[in-house]
Structure 1
Amino acid sequence: MATILVTGSSDGIGRHTAEVLAADGHQVTLHARSERRAEDARRAVPQARGVIVGDLASLAQTRELAAQAVGAGPFDVVIHNAGVGGGQAAPAVTEDGLERIFQVNTLAPYLLTALMPSPGRLIYLTSGLEADGRARLDDPQWRGRPWDGMQAYSDSKLYDVMLAFAVARLRPGTLSNAVDPGWIRTRLGGPDATDDLPEGADTQVWLATSDEPAAVVTGHYFKRRASLRANPQAYDESLQEQLLALCADLTGVKLPA
C-alpha cells in the first residue's frame, strides 16, 4: 500500500480521490486551507491518517504546509489537486502582492515540490483549458495588460503542465504527469458540468497506484487514462526553464534537480 498526499482534499475532486484511495487501503494524508475545512475533511474521510493545514494563497503558509508534509511523510505519491477557478471580473491580489490564480494554481505546487522530498510519483491537476493557455511569463501578474480571468485560469493550467513536464525532465527517478480531470460537477465546476466525481478522480487514482505499463510513465498529459498531446508550449524546455526561474525568483526557493 502507498502513502499518498492529496492537496485540496476537503471537498470536490480532491476529497473523492482521497476517499477512493483510503477505501482501497492506502495511507492517505489530506490537506485543507483552514482548520474548519480540515474538520470537514476528517469527517468525510475518516480512514485518512491525518490532515495538514495551510492556505496556498500565502507563501508563508505554503512553506509551513511543506514542513507539515515533511513531518507527515515520506510520501510515495503527491497529488497536487488544489486550485481556484477563473472568471473573476478583477484580479485578486494575495498578501504576498501576487495574483491569486497564479499563486494558488502554479506557484504553490511549485513551492511544495521544491521544499518536499521527491516522491516516486507526482500528479499535477490541470484542465482542458490549458489548450487555450498562453505562456506570458513576462507578465504573469497581469500588471501590464487588461485583466481576463478565464485567460488567467487557462494560463495557470498550462503552467501546471509545464511544471509537470519540467519535473519529469529534471527528476528521472520520479514519475511526474499532468491530468485533466474533465468538467466535473463540483463547487468549482458548477452545476452545468458534464461529468461526475468518479470520472474526475479515476485517472489520478490509477496513476497513483497502478503498475500497468501505461501508468508507469513520466512527462505525459492524461485525460480518462489516455495520454494526449498537451498545448505545444508545454513541451518547450526554454519556456519550462523560464517558468522555473520565475517561480524561484518569487519564492526564493530553487527547484532541486
Structure 2
Amino acid sequence: MARILVTGSTDGIGLETARTLQGLGHDVVFHARSDERAAALDAEVLVADLGSLEQTRAMAAAAGKFDVVIHNAGIGGQDERRETGDGIERTFQVNVLAPYVLTALMPRPQRLVYLTSGLEAVGVADLADLQYRAKPWHGMQSYSDSKLHDVALAFAVARLWPDVYSNAVDPGWIRTKLGGPNATDELPIGAATQVWLADGDGDALVTGRYFKWRQQLRPNPAVHDRGYQDGLLRACAELSGVALPL
C-alpha cells in the first residue's frame, strides 16, 4: 500500500483517479481548492488554492511524506488574461508554478505524475514571455503552452532526480467540466494511466516519459531541450522564491 496525494481531486479526472487508487487499497489524500469543496469528501483532504503562492507553500509544509504525488490540478484556457493576487498570470501559476513549488518543497516521493494535454503539441516554449505580458492574449494558446511546460517540468525532474520516477500523462479528451459535454471519452479512461503509473510495477517503473492510455508517445520536441528545461526551472524559482533542490 502506498501513500498517494492527488491534487485537484474534488471532481473530474482527479476524483476518479483518487477513488480508483483507494479501491486498490492505497492510502489516498485528496486536495481541494477550498474548505467548502473539501467538505463534500469523506476522506483526508489538504486544502489550498493553487492560485496563491502562500497557500501552495503552506500545503507543501503540511503535506508530509508521500510515495506518489499526482499533479492533476489545473485550469483551462481563460477568456481574458487574469493575474492572481501574487501578480502572476493565472493559467501559468495554477498549471505550472504550483506543481513546481509543491515538487520543490515537499519531501521527494518515489513517483511523480504530471498531467498534461495533447495540446502540448502546439505549445510554444517561449521563456521570454511566459506570462503573456507583451504578446497578445490567447486563452487556448496559453493553456497549450502551460501543458507543454508541464511535460518539460516532468522531464527536467526525471533528469535531475534519477532516484524518482517522473512522467507526464495526457489523459485524453474526457467528459468533465473542463473537457466539456462533447468530449469523446469517459472518466475511467482519463484516470487509467495515472493509476497504472502510481500502482504498477514492470512497465510502469520508467521515468522521463510521456504517456496516453498507457502507451508511450513522442511529446513536443522542445521538452527534450535542456536549455528550455533549465530556463523554465529558473523562471519558476525566480517567480516563487523556491529553488528545486538537487
TM-score in terms of structure 2 length: 0.99
1:67 Cα offset (Å): 1.1
Which of 239, 246, 251 aligns to 2:228? It is 239
- Alignment pair present for 1:83 and 2:74: yes
Residue 144 of structure 2: aligned partner:
154
Q: Deviations over 1:105-151 (max 9, x none)?
A: 00000000000011000000000000000011111111101000000
Which of 142, 164, 168 aligns to 1:178? It is 168
Q: Deviations over 1:187-245 (max 9, x none)?
A: 11110100000000000000001012x21000000000011110000110110000000
- Taking the aligned partners of 2:206 and 2:199, their CA distance within structure 1 comes to 12
- Alignment pair present for 1:61 and 2:55: yes
Letter in 2 for 1:244: L
- Taking the aligned partners of 1:97 and 1:231, their CA distance within structure 2 comes to 29
Residue 240 of structure 2: aligned partner:
251
SS in 2 for 1:187: coil
Residue 18 of structure 1: aligned partner:
18
- Alignment pair present for 1:165 and 2:155: yes
- Taking the aligned partners of 2:25 and 2:112, their CA distance within structure 1 comes to 19
- Give the RMSD, CA atoms, in angstroms: 0.7
1:92 Cα offset (Å): 1.2
1:89 Cα offset (Å): 2.7
- Taking the aligned partners of 1:141 and 1:170, their CA distance within structure 2 comes to 25
Residue 87 of structure 2: aligned partner:
97
Residues 140-151 of structure 1 aligned to structure 2 (within 5 Å): 140-151=130-141
- Alignment pair present for 1:207 and 2:197: yes
Aligned-pair identity (%) = 65
SS in 2 for 1:138: helix
- Alignment pair present for 1:192 and 2:171: no
- Taking the aligned partners of 2:61 and 2:121, their CA distance within structure 1 comes to 34
1:68 Cα offset (Å): 1.6
Gap regions ≥5 residues in structure 1: none
- Alignment pair present for 1:222 and 2:216: no
SS in 1 for 2:219: coil
Structure 1 stretches of 4+ with a deviation exceeding 3 A read none
1:2 Cα offset (Å): 0.7
Gap regions ≥5 residues in structure 2: none
- Taking the aligned partners of 1:31 and 1:95, their CA distance within structure 2 comes to 21
- Taking the aligned partners of 2:147 and 2:52, their CA distance within structure 1 comes to 19
Q: Deviations over 1:156-203 (max 9, x none)?
A: 000000000000000000000000000000011110100000000000
How many residues matched?
Answer: 246
TM-score in terms of structure 1 length: 0.95
